[in-house]
Chain A
Amino acid sequence: MLLKKKNVDNLQADSILRKLSGLLLTLALTGTVQAETVFVTLEKDNALAIVDPLAGKLLKTVAVGQRPRGIAISPDNKLLYVATSDENTIKIINAETLKEVGKLPSGEDPETFALNPKGDILYVSNEDDSLVTVIDIAKKKIIKQIKVGVEPEGITVSPDNNWLISASETTNMVHWIDTKTNTIIENTLVDPRPRAASFTADSQQLWVTSEMAGSLMILDTKTKQIIKTLKFEVQGVTADKIQPVGVVIDKAGNKGYVALGPANRVAIVNAKTFAVEKVLLVGQRVWNLAFSPDQKRLYTTNGTSNDISIIDLESQTVTQSLGVGNYPWGVTVKP
């Protein structure tokens, strides 16, 4: 009887062990999925939405300051920078605790800004004053204010840290600013109302969107001239609603993605042939875009439908649109 019980116990232990090893094996095989956090500024809620995109859930919303718009994360992923436009400042927020740890003097009405690759200098567009403010993050001091065209909006730094780009909406110009001297070296006339700019990973090309022309221009960094202009068309959507804004290009240089504003679409552009491969339906007035760290997903902020859309880039499909709060504007991702 005792022997029988022992055998049963052994069998049970054996079965549990087998199950455990199976579980460990499954974990090892599927453990490649990494958690990431998406931060979204909510312009009307004066808040920051924190989203778990893999679970497809809004985790929480925290107050951040008046009219938050532009957002970026430091290269070490520890600090968030948020432009609180109506407070004329850029807030520094701990990405873990979500507590404010400092402020940067941004000049008037900061909306968009860019960090240099090292993460020690921040460049802000001051739309009303036609200025670009250069800020030393460590010293929390303005180094210089550069006079640019009327209504500067789009701003970006080349990955090789040689160029700072400022796009002036009313002057219809892209200003090439030398990051060493903080002076404009050259201006390129582009299509009306340039909104956003982004460099390819090798810094050889600059992609600029034009809101009014409904176009995307590809500029050569060496010549600083437009080498290609492409117009977007969306079946069933009138041309006046196609207003390209945010633009991002993958690190491999294969594909670029353009937010088409009130057309409620994101266009996928082949970065080699410059052909529009597909347009995907997302929420209303899609404005800004951000990649997941592994560049397998793309997150979009949809201003008037108060949600973000999650795009699976392998299947080129929108997997979910998730309500986050009023007027989602900027987006950044922490691995």
Chain B
Amino acid sequence: MIMLHYWRAMWGIINRELWRFITQRERFISALIRPLVWLFVFAAGFRASLGLAITPPYETYILYEVYITPGLIGMIQLFNGMQSSLSMVYDREMGSMRILMVCPLPRWFLLLSKLLAGTGVSLLQVYVFLAIAWFYDIHAPWQGYLGILPALILSGLMLGALGLLLSSFIKQLENFAGVMNFVIFPMFFMSTALYPLWKMKESSPLLSLLAHYNPFSQAVELIRFALYGQFNQSAFIYTLAAFLIFMAAAIIGYNPSKGMMVKKGGA
């Protein structure tokens, strides 16, 4: 009976998130347009100028758009994770979060359900993006399209948990612009999404070091290897650890007696 209760609550949250995503057609289109612009415009401009040495998981030379694809998948999940947390701030302002939080279930479970819902939405976006990329001659082995799924779930959870953590600090919707400038952009540009580490090392060893320890880089590498049917153990452990830390901090952040809610005057 208790299990059923849990399940109903989780399904309710996931259903609400998916329904919101499907009905907001503009959100779906903009979530796709962003990585596609990078793929068709940015990567096309760089395809000849950026020579790429062979590094695992690749076994031969690749075009820049092939390299950038896992990074753009990470970008989809990064923006989606942040957008989910944005909706948390919105929910708080509108008062719907109060309804959620009075639900007689543990707070961590409600937050995890929210995370899973956000990750589910990002999976839809990623597979549509991969389908479009396939017609653009970006092909991965068939087992890669399956193997990427668990990697996407973990990276989606990790980035979503980061979003949750950030949202626990944000009092008003307007403050979210700061997240764009101080979190999304540095995280995306200081990662292996756009350039390989060895290339970064050529210009700045410090930058390459920062990029290496950036959890987003590790998530991108996990996705990159999975897309080619390979398992990157270190990236997996790093991403999992980052998820657990962000999640624990977010749970504390959303605790009315201990976390940021005290400072903000509760949910």
Interface on A for B, CB 8 Å cutoff?
56, 235-238, 264, 281-283, 305, 309-310, 317-321
Using known A-B contacts A235-B47, A321-B54, determine if residue A281 contacts B63 with beta carbons closer than 8 Å: yes
Chain B contacts for A320, CB-based, 8 A = 59-60
Q: Are A282 and B61 in contact (CB under 8 A)?
A: yes
Interface status of B48 (Cβ within 8 A of chain A)? yes
- Interface CB pairs A-B, < 8 A, 11: A236-B44, A236-B48, A281-B63, A282-B61, A305-B61, A309-B61, A317-B139, A319-B60, A320-B59, A321-B59, A321-B61
A300 to chain B, nearest CB (A): 11
Q: Ordered nearest first, which 3 A-B pairs have the shortest CB separation?
A: A236-B48, A321-B60, A236-B47
Chain B contacts for A319, CB-based, 8 A = 59-60
Q: Are B59 and A237 in contact (CB under 8 A)?
A: no
Chain A residue nearest in CB terms to B49: A236
A83 to chain B, nearest CB (A): 28
Q: Are B60 and A309 in contact (CB under 8 A)?
A: yes
Chain B contacts for A310, CB-based, 8 A = 60
Chain A contacts for B60, CB-based, 8 A = 281-282, 309-310, 318-321
B56 to chain A, nearest CB (A): 12
Q: Which of B44, B47, B54, B63 has the most CB of A within 10 A?
A: B54
Provide the B19-55 mask, 1 if CB < 8 A to any CB of A, else 0.
Answer: 0000000000000000000000000100110000010
Chain A contacts for B54, CB-based, 8 A = 321
Q: How far is the CA of A317 from the CA of B47 in the complex (A)?
A: 18
Chain B contacts for A317, CB-based, 8 A = 139
Chain A contacts for B63, CB-based, 8 A = 281
A156 to chain B, nearest CB (A): 29
Q: Are B61 and A283 in contact (CB under 8 A)?
A: yes
Interface status of B62 (Cβ within 8 A of chain A)? yes
Chain B contacts for A56, CB-based, 8 A = 59
Q: How far is the CA of A282 from the CA of B63 in the complex (A)?
A: 10
A262 to chain B, nearest CB (A): 12
Chain A contacts for B59, CB-based, 8 A = 56, 319-321
Chain A contacts for B47, CB-based, 8 A = 235-236
Chain A contacts for B48, CB-based, 8 A = 236-238
B213 to chain A, nearest CB (A): 30
Chain A contacts for B139, CB-based, 8 A = 317
Q: Which of B59, B60, B63, B139 has the most CB of A within 10 A?
A: B60
Q: How far is the CA of A112 from the CA of B141 in the complex (A)?
A: 39
Q: Are B44 and A264 in contact (CB under 8 A)?
A: no
A239 to chain B, nearest CB (A): 12
Chain A residue nearest in CB terms to B48: A236
Q: How far is the CA of A309 from the CA of B58 in the complex (A)?
A: 13
Chain A contacts for B62, CB-based, 8 A = 281
Chain B residue nearest in CB terms to A323: B54
Q: How far is the CA of A238 from the CA of B49 in the complex (A)?
A: 11
Q: How far is the CA of A20 from the CA of B48 in the complex (A)?
A: 53
Chain B contacts for A237, CB-based, 8 A = 48
Chain A contacts for B44, CB-based, 8 A = 236
Further 8 A-B residue pairs, CB within 8 A, beyond A318-B61, A321-B54: A236-B47, A236-B48, A281-B61, A282-B60, A282-B61, A283-B61, A320-B60, A321-B60
Q: How far is the CA of A305 from the CA of B54 in the complex (A)?
A: 10
Q: How far is the CA of A320 from the CA of B47 in the complex (A)?
A: 20
Chain A residue nearest in CB terms to B66: A281
